[in-house]
Amino acid sequence: MSLDIPGWMTGDAGPVRTAARGLRSAAGVVDDERAGLRRTLGQAATALGWEGQITDRADEAANPAQDGLRIMQEDLHAAGGALDDLAGALEDHGPTLREIQSDWDALHADKPRTEVTYYTGEEIGTVDWAEVRRREDALRDRAEHPKEMLRTADRGCRDTLAQVRSSLAALEPGSSTASFTRSQAPQGTWQVFRDQGLVNTAADEALLVRIARAQDPNAVRALLDELDQQRLAGFLQRNPYVMAALATDDEPRNADDPVLSGLWEAIGELEDGQITDPRSIEGIRDYWAGLSPQEQQRLRLLYPTLVGTLDGIPVEHRAAANRLLVESAIDVEQQRLAVLQSMPDNAATREQALDDLPGWYPDWLGEKILEGLMHDEAQTLLHDFRLRDQEVERSLARLEFYEGLMEPLERPRFADVEDATGTVLPADARAVLLFDPRGDGRYAEWHGEFDSDNVGIFVPGTTTDMSNIGGYAQRVERWAREPNTSGVTWMGVDLPNSVASDATQTRYSEDGGQALLRFVEGLGMSERTVTAVGHSAGGGIVGFADVYGLDVDRTMLVAPSGSGLGLHRPLPWPLAPWGAQPSTPNEYPPQTWDGHDRQVQRFTQTAPGDSIGVAQASEDVRWWVGLPEDWGHGDNPNTSDQFVRLETGRWTEGEHAGQRLEGFDSHGQVVTPGTDAWANIVGVITGGDVIPYREDGDWIGPDNVYDDPDYPGTDPVPIDDLESPWQQSQPEIMAPGPLDGSFEDRGEPA
């Protein structure tokens, strides 16, 4: 245990003051340049005899430059002020923290002792650990206020310096060279920018010329290896297109790099950037722990696609590598958007398609056919054919999401993660654990503190991709606001693009279940309470991961496509030989994938009238009509004795408060804050209260108690006080009993 005081908090304020003066000086130069531009234009207009509209047009032409310089001048002033504030905070609070650290060191150098009576009756001296802990807590309490003041000042510096970079970029036309940009900067400011790491040095620009001639990513790395690692980090941040060149290397190998080669020995084989054997994860974890901080940093900087996606690498190192990948993806997506916007729009495509329709159709019929195929809903329900206008919208949404990933957190973690090389991951940086923008994309993010006891992992469903995963991430982030709880948004595989053509295919659940199992294993959370939550197709993924032996404490399938259990491949009799067994079991295994005993609490909820019920009944449909083998996701969890079913209930907030969740729209509402269903998800993750599903009536016609619009609602109960799944399946309402793992006389649970 330690005080967790980052080294910079007890450092010298002098260099920070110097940097502040430099930025304020640059702001003054920019202000003078702006005034000079205005005077020059005025003198030119007078000398040429301009007046009227021509003068107005000259002013209009100059306005963008004037505005850009004004914004930069304001941002430089703000950054200088923020650095001054940080220097003041260091002067005010640094000595206090140094004193507290000294007291901490003294406490551990000379721990308080006490006398205890040995069993022989002899009095012996021993460390008074209770007193040590009391004094440690007191020192931590003393340190918290100055640390928070410094963290606040530090965040202000980060924000304002980022704004300076943004305003500098705004002055640069899209196709400008670095030399052109430098020529536009007021005289004297460029050296200040270089000193503060805001722009490239002359040596950096010479290196960029050499990199442009490199033939492959390893040649780029050989050139980058010439840089000091601290300088390399800033260079890659300033030049995201260099990182984009490295990001094309999804499985980097280099026989001349012994550290990388050692990592590959631990990995074994990769398939599409993912390990194939979860048994290799322990070796990856051990190898990484044996590297020096400098070796770890070098791998993060030069091989981010490998480090950022590799299960077994600690979360802070994966997140640090992925920050570089996100920055480069912003640059690449901007280019992709420009290409898309230059393509024929949907109207032109529609006219061309109408002309190319085979056979003869009346115009009105051809238009109807194309309308049915080209509207937005058809692209999610029927097929995954992407049209230009929708792709432009997706590209804009991806850009917004990527840029948001680089913005500081509104609720920073407790402290920066640091090692001997400096800050690995700032407290206000988003912790992206997986970032692969190829195709629809793969992404995972940790929300909240890294050491929380409760961790919820959310797996979304059909049509989720990089253009819309941000909405789910915002919801999962809310879990981290619960005490001692963190959340993870996981889109670790390509999810189905459409309901009819993709989402029915079993392979999405199979492949996703295996990937989720490896991801959870890579996080190494055996000492925590972990819950895997899957929605829609994500529910099928969690179900299959459970079939494979996912090492979690709870699962929750929310409006799932299936449970992964009882999937008949080959098809059941009479469509296959008598006695053919299902390819997945009828009960979940009682052991994890590597043979350790596990006790998993399983919950599920689906609103009445949700069309996902068709997928949940896929095994019944297969029995009668003999659908293809790669179809369906297993038995219905709502009727399985493996699950405790929860009530989706009603809206609890907003304009729909009091209305029941039901029908087609309920499929998305069950993962929306402000509903009983959402409260259930939070309750399962935190081990809190949930609303159990209840029916009344008789065996012939049991009814959900919420079918009565006047029903006041079922009171939430602690999840550990719910009945077992077998008890709950009875139609009458029963008194809650302990969920002790037994299913009455049906034997031990899976």
87-93 mean pLDDT? 90
Same domain, 353 and 279: yes
Q: Between these two residues, 191 and 469, which has the higher pLDDT value?
A: 469
Instruction: Indicate whether 120 belongs to any domain.
Output: no
190-201 mean pLDDT? 57
Same domain, 607 and 462: yes
CATH number where 452 lies: 3.40.50
Mean pLDDT is lowest, of 279-293, 470-484, 725-739, for 725-739
Same domain, 149 and 295: no
Confidence of residue 724 (pLDDT cuts 50, 70, 90): low
Domain that holds residue 454: 439-692
Position 254: which residue type?
N
CA distances from 313 to 291, 309, 319 (A): 12, 8, 10
Residues paired with residue 487 on neighbouring β-strands, in sequence order? 447, 456
Instruction: Indicate whether 750 belongs to any domain.
Output: no
Instruction: Indicate whether 707 belongs to any domain.
Output: no
Q: What percent of the chain has pLDDT over 70?
A: 73
Helix axes 537-548, 506-523, angle to 10 degrees: 60
Task: Please provide the distance, in angstroms rounded to a whole number, between the alpha carbons at the two ends of the chain.
Answer: 39
CA distances from 252 to 263, 273, 457 (A): 11, 10, 29
Instruction: Indicate whether 479 belongs to any domain.
Output: yes
548 SS3 class: helix
Same domain, 493 and 412: no
Residue 243 has pLDDT above 50, yes or no: yes
Same domain, 415 and 448: no
Last residue of a domain, one of 692, 708, 727: 692
Instruction: Indicate whether 706 belongs to any domain.
Output: no
For residue range 533-550, list pLDDT tens digits in order: 999 989 989 998 999 999
Residue 363 has pLDDT above 70, yes or no: no
- Give how many domains the chain has, as a whole number: 3
For residue range 577-608, list pLDDT tens digits in order: 445 555 777 889 999 999 999 999 999 999 99
Same domain, 286 and 229: yes
Same domain, 220 and 180: no
| Residue 515, CB-side half-sphere exposure with 13 Å CA sphere | 27
Same domain, 229 and 315: yes
Same domain, 270 and 206: yes
Same domain, 273 and 416: yes
Distance CA 246, CA 325 (A): 9
For residue range 115-174, list pLDDT tens digits in order: 766 556 677 777 788 888 888 889 888 988 988 888 888 888 888 877 777 776 666 544
Distance CA 318, CA 304 (A): 8
Rounded to 5 degrees, φ, ψ at 111 are: -70, 140
Work out the widest C-alpha separation in the chain, in whole angstroms: 110
Instruction: Indicate whether 730 belongs to any domain.
Output: no
Residues paired with residue 8 on neighbouring β-strands, in sequence order? none
Instruction: Indicate whether 703 belongs to any domain.
Output: no
Q: Give the other-Cβ count within 10 Å of 331's Cβ.
A: 16
Last residue of a domain, one of 382, 405, 426: 426
Same domain, 566 and 503: yes
Last residue of a domain, one of 138, 157, 192: 192
For residue range 246-260, list pLDDT tens digits in order: 888 888 998 889 999
Instruction: Indicate whether 335 belongs to any domain.
Output: yes
Q: Give the other-Cβ count within 10 Å of 137's Cβ.
A: 10
Same domain, 459 and 411: no
Residue 750 has a pLDDT of 35
Q: Which of 471, 507, 501 is nearest to 489 (CA)?
A: 471
Distance CA 641, CA 724 (A): 8
Sheet strands (E) in 407-528: 417-419, 422-425, 431-436, 442-447, 454-459, 485-491
